[in-house]
Structure formats: C-alpha cells, structure tokens
Structure 1
C-alpha cells in the first residue's frame, strides 16, 4: 500500500486536485474540473507522467459532483493507494487560525462565519470540504490557510488607524496568497539561500494579485488587507480604494450592499478599467487604447506598491514573480521593472506557483 494525500483547491467554478505520496510528496496524479455550475463542465486529469484525460461532467455540476468525478478517476488509477488525508485551501483563517488544523464541525462553522470577508473564495473552499466530508467520511480534512503566512505581523503592520473598539471586533489587516508565498520561501531556502536571508518583494500576479515583503523567510508586510479586495488592482477587483468612495456609493448613489459588492469584486480592476476583459493576454493583443490604459495602470500600481514593500524592509535584494500573469506575461514584468530602476540593482526571478505542494507539506506535518 502507498499512503497518499489528496489536495483540493476549490474556486467558484473550478476544483483543482493533486494526489501526493505521503512519504516523499511526489505527485501521483493531478487534474482540474472547470465550468462548475456553467454549461459544458469538464475535467482534465492524468497520472503524473501519463497522458491527460478529458472527462465530461454532468450539467449543473457542483463541487460534490466534481469531487465524485475526482474520486472515480483516482479509483480507476489506484495502484494500492491509501488516502490518509484531504488537504483544502481555505482563503481566510481570521484571527484564530494561524496554522493548519484538522477540521471539526466547530471549526467549519467558525470558517463559515468568515465568508463575508472573502465572498469570492471562502464559500467555495468550504463547499469542497463539505463534499469531502460526505464522500470520504473516514478521512481527516486538513485546512491550510492563505492568511497563515502573514499571521505573525507586528501591530504596526496589521492594525488600521481606527478606534480600539472597532479593532477589537477583528477589523485589521490579514493578508492573503500565503500558500503561494510560503512556496516561494521554500524554493528560495533550497535554491537561493542568499536571497532567502535577504529582502525579497514577492509578486503573486494573477486574476487575484498581491505583493509580499519577505525578509529572512518571514512575511513583513503585504498589500492585501482585511479582505481580498485591497491593494493591487486585479482582474475584476478594484484594489486600494478611498473608503469615502464606498460611502458615496451608499449615501449619494443609492446603491445597496449587493450592488456595491458586485461593483468592487466583479466589475472593477482590469475589466472595469478596460471595459473589455480581465484577461491580460487579451488586453496585450488588443489595439484598443483602453486595453493599454488598463495595463499601464496595473504596472504602475504594482511598481508603486513594490516600492512600499521595499520600504517596509529597508531595501530590496530581489523581486520574485509568480502567478498566471507573473509567470507568463513577460511584457507586464518588463513594464513593472522599467518603473523600478530607481531602486538600484536587485535580482529578478520567476518561480512557478505550487500552492498544492505546500498544502501537502502542511498536511503531512500536521498528521505526523
């Protein structure tokens, strides 16, 4: 028998999975179900070194049905695998959860209560947990938190300039993309020890985007705040915004909470600036001046916030790009770097994201 860990990374309309050996954490299988809740859902999956399979999924496919398809794929290729844990990416751990935990009904309920702080992510993360609990009742579920990497910031970093009574209610900066940043920390420790010991600005740039100041392998500061809405402009999210503008939407424009939430989370960012698309490749290939404006705005803000992250550390020794845009959009990287020449010389690396490997590491350590 081969002990394994199943890692699930659930989005609003997707479910990514990887199966790892428990001993050496090598990948046995991986795949992704897409268009959940949309027309023509499907799953692309395969063994680590084998051909990919395209598997049609039932219409109106939800996370339960997608996970059933994942388990059916695993069963077809099972070569003496014994599943010891299911690890889940949970975006928000709040103030209470700074380390991975085995999920209990009480912890699940506490995480559900945090859904308003990450409405695009938390409900879908927890839907995958609920599906796993129903379909694999005897296998422990491990929560791995995107906020955990930043959980030990000092008060100067995590506090807002609000009265104590509001801060006591949990209104503070948490930060996100922590699993991605922890993977970069692991890679730097193994392959670039000089940078690991120094001052690095890590740029997780994708449909969700943030920066992290990492000094000596520890998160010092990050651009996201209490929710996944703050900091850099993103695919459809606005990023940093004057809170007075939100009050204006409520008080003067007569918008309700749902309308404001939809505007800030779903219709802003690159999509809102360009009026065309939230996809960077589409914008790069467009002749529409609005596409160029959206990309120029994005690269300016990444450069400005990168300088702020460098200031938090007293300088910069390296800038690391990761995420879909960071890894694949070379013109965007170049435009950001052109705006940062005033910081002097520093190393630049591109490191592919691997949140699933971090989750497997965390689950193995927790269950040991």
Structure 2
C-alpha cells in the first residue's frame, strides 16, 4: 500500500492501547484511537476503586504513545464499505484498517430486578455508583455479592476486609475457574474475613429486590446493597454494523484476528472471538491480542500473509483484600493445574502482575514515539460533530 496508512482503533482498554502503540511505531502509519473516556481505566483494579484503595485510572498521556491521536467519543457504527466510523458526537473517522477493541462490560443477568437493583463492578461508571451506594449504607448493613468468579471473589474480600457483612452467592461452586486445590486457600481466607459463602446448585438467584435477594431454594437474603459480578457482555457495535458475531456478540475472526467479513477489520481483546481458538476474556489475553492484531495489520500493509495468533497463559492472580491473595498457575493452554501460591505471597504476586501490566503499557507508549501536540484541522474527523473532542495523548489527566 502506497502513502500514509490510516488505522483507527476503537476502544482504549488493554487490547486497544497495546495495538495502537505497536502500530504507531511503524513509519507511514497514522493511528487514531477512539475511546469514550479521557482516561485509561485499570480494569483489574476496579474492585479497589470501590473501597478507595486505588482510583483505577491512569492518564492516556502515560500509556499511549504521543504519535497516537486520541479521540474522546463513542463509536456508534462501522461502515465497512466506506471504511468509516460514525461517532456519537456527530463526526466520522475514516480508516484504511480498523482495530475492533471495544472490550466488555456487565452482562444482562436476565433475573427479575437485577438490572434495576443490583450494582456492577465491571466498568468504572458501575464501580463509582457502587462506591456511592456503599458510602450511603451503614457499615453493619448486609451486602450480597452474586457470582464467585475472580471479580466476585476479589470484590467480596475487599469489602469484608473493611468490616462489611458480606454474603457471597456462588450459584454453583466457589471459584469455578480455579483448581480444586486453589479453591481451598480462597475459602479459608473468605472464612477468616467473615464472608458467608453459599455454594451449590440451589444457590442460583431468582430475583433481586431493593433490599433482598431470593434464591431458587426459596431462601430470601436481606441485602442493602447487591453486587452482580456473574458474566460479561460485549457492546453490540459489530452486530449493529452488520458484521458477524458469535452468540455472545463478539466479532468473529479467523486465526489472524481478521474479521470473517472484512480483511480491513481486525479484532483484539474481549470483543474478539477466533472461531478455531476460543480464549478466556481477560486482561491476560488482551495484552497478547493487541500486539497480535497490530502485527496482522502491519504484515498486510507490507504485502505479507499474516501469521496465526499464538496465545500463552500463565494462570490467574486474585487479590483477597490488601493482605492476602491466591495465584493459580495454569498450563500454556489456560488449563489450570494444582500449583498455586496463597497468603501474603499470593497478594504480592497479584500486585506485581498489576504493576507489570501498567509498566508494559508505559514502555509501549515510549516506544511509540515522542509526545507531540495535536490540534490542527488535519487531526480531526472529516465531519466533526458538536460534542466531539480531539485530545493529544501527551496531555495530563483530564478533569
């Protein structure tokens, strides 16, 4: 391809940022990242935002290379035929290639009352609303966390460590993604924190009300604040744009992360679904898929055949409050094994993993070139809307 190549990255999470930084390192490639928020969200720390031990945000000026143009807006439609992205603010951005990295959020529970009365912690807006709800509730008020995956476990432990009365409703087994041996230190830690754990097939939630949670065995649990952590969903941007998705709404791709509908669209992160290689929706996957998506595009620009993506997993790190945690190791194919680290060392490994991930983003930003000021007309969408904002990635944290 001759001339400057325009790449638009939709989504500024772990996958989108790593893809943008990798692409921006190549001469002749201009990168625009579209994200609805002016700051990068450390999603793996959102449970800490709820209790105030971390703000879970970082300036894009730290994690995004200066050559990447940041557009603070929401993508509403991808016009694959015209190679154009429509924005909520009224503008459009054209592309030669597009990275689809819209991430994921809380799933629709499909349980009466859950959408109305339950809080979520899967995105920063939900976490902030939950924090406000907790601030308004007495410390002795009963809290219910629904879902015993990593998010539910971390949230329940974080709240209990602050002296909150927490009931964890598993719906089935505690820590379903963990090895049986890895569940034991988790259960012991929750017990020491005073968390009431309800396991078994009869602990599925059938209804959520303003002050209670009902289970399918007829029990009714008093709950001043209910937190729903079971399941994730992805935005429906791909489906609304006429692109094929899987049953969960993720963009269907081949083994090179290329959309099965359009070779100009490549996916990364939770919103991608490789037909021959399913993977767990996680930060660990996203930081691999972002650079892989960039590599696919760069090879196509160079006239080469993209290589299939290779995924490698090390395990799962859980913080169980600030003082303890569990690191569950896995085989490279993400199948967990019996090896794990618990207690304070487990918490230390989790914190190292969080800091390492952020430092990798910062390092990628530095490699993506010096910070430069943007703002002339060439840096704006072809048809800017009244609410559209173009923000130089090198600026400080936005207000």
The structure carrying a bigger strand percent of its residues is 2
Q: Does 1 or 2 have the higher relative contact order (CA < 8 Å, sep 6+)?
A: 2
- TM-score bracket for this pair, using the shorter chain length: under 0.3
TM-score (norm 2): 0.25
